[in-house]
Structure 1
Amino acid sequence: MSKIKGSVPIIGVGGATGSGKSSVAHSFRAYNAMIIDLDRLSHDLSRKGRRLWKAVVLNFGSGFLDQKGELQRKKLGRVVFKNWKLLFLLNRISHPIFKNQLKKIILRQPPSAIVVIDGAILFEAGLIPLVDCLIFVEAPEEQRSSRLSQKGLSPDEIRSRLKSQKFISCLRRRSHIIIENNTTPEDLQKKIDFVCQIPIEKISHFDHKTG
């Protein structure tokens, strides 16, 4: 049973930036699961005129808007990831908005659905109480840095993002399943296949680490 009354089974997939959690989350499409990517949700809620956009402008001013009034998320990120107080402020105003929107999306799903939430901020945003099963994906810092570099982040931006995840150990401790993503994509797929073979009605009672 989900922890949102009357809703569907909810699986959370978290991990440090660059760990490969999105690959694991999207593997649940084999169950016809609906994948909620928290980064994409943030992008959608940040569009001009939407709730998160309004909250950012109110708290940070209009200096992060482009000529069309859209929020420049990368510019904001470069600033907040270097300043813990500003990051805390952004989290404080954004996380309740995420949680409220997630509940709305989940409650709209049909009874046969499965929802998978993909995101690094499950702990900070107070989303763990919503999920029935928490999967944590981890990888060595060197590999995570390499993946972030491939996405176009500079060394300074990578260091800032890695340091910003101060609660990642809290997320790991609360997980039911830990997947080590430290070798090849083929090896990761084998681990994902193993997890996906666990009956969905039993997965929240499962306690296993795949190494």
Structure 2
Amino acid sequence: MTSPPPPPRRPLPRRLGLTGSIGAGKSTVAALLRARGLTVLDADEQARLVTAEPGTLAELEAAFPGVVRAGALDRAALAARVFGDAAQLARLNAITHPRVRARMVALEAGAAARGEAWVVQDVPLLFEGGLDKSMDAVLLVDAPLETRVARVVARSGLTPGDVLARDARQLPAPEKRRRATLTLDNSGDLAALERQLDAALRHLGLSPRPA
């Protein structure tokens, strides 16, 4: 007696990439998307989980001695080691990125099993990492440079020079706008941002679904 065929695999959801320059308000938009019923996969959150795993910590300590202290990653020490050093950053990415991608794929599979048509991939360096090519659409959050710098200084204690240095290492905002499917201008208030977001979702065929 032959076994019945396995049930057909659900197709993976379509991917909406969410990105934005430092201080643009990407995290605010991610929260608004969640409130509208969309699954948001946060690459930074997955990276934090990955770098808490013993195997990852062991590789990081071997590659960057002194960055693991009392069994936990000293993120500030690691950032100081790789910031501005392309070779060291590439070494870090070789350790962490495959693990983060594996987590994101597993979360996507979970969304597919739930029958979700779209998932949002929240990736700060989406364009810089070439991940925009694997997205079905890209939503960019942007704001004037002066506004973004002021926001980051107010919330983080970084100096304006620090923020400008970090911004300079990202793809220029005009190029991001050129490559994005849709851009949200977050230079106004929250209500204006929500109106733009809902219009963007309608444009993509995603009806906003408030929770």
Answer whether TM exceeds 0.5 for this pair: yes
Look up the equivalent residue of 1:59 and give its one-letter code: A
What's the offset of the Cα at 1:20? 0.8
Calculate the TM-score normalised by the size of structure 1: 0.79
- Pick from 26, 33, 47 the counterpart of residue 42 of structure 1: 47
Per the alignment, residue 71 of structure 1 pairs with 73
| 1:179 to 1:164, Cα distance in 2 relative to 1, 3 A | same
User: Aligned-residue CA RMSD in angstroms?
Assistant: 2.6
Q: Per the alignment, do residues 36 and 114 of structure 1 end up closer, same or farther by CA in structure 2, a change over 3 Å counting?
A: same
Structure 1 residue 12, shift from structure 2 partner: 0.7
Residues 89 and 171 (structure 1 numbering): CA distance in 2 closer, same or farther, change over 3 Å? farther
Q: Which ranges of structure 2 fall in alignment gaps of 5 or more residues?
A: 1-9
Contact 1:78 1:157 in 2 (8 A): no
**TM-score calculated relative to the size of structure 2:** 0.79
Counterpart position of 1:207: none
Of 147, 150, 174, the match for 1:146: 150
How far did residue 14 of structure 1 move? 0.7
Q: Say which one has the larger Rg.
A: 2
Residue 200 of structure 1 deviates from its aligned partner by 3.0
Matched, 1:197 2:202: yes
The answer for the alignment partner of 2:16 in structure 1 is: 11
Percent of residue pairs identical: 26
- Answering whether residue 140 of structure 2 is matched by residue 120 of structure 1, we say no
Residue of structure 1 in register with 2:83 after alignment: 81
Q: How many aligned positions are there? A: 195
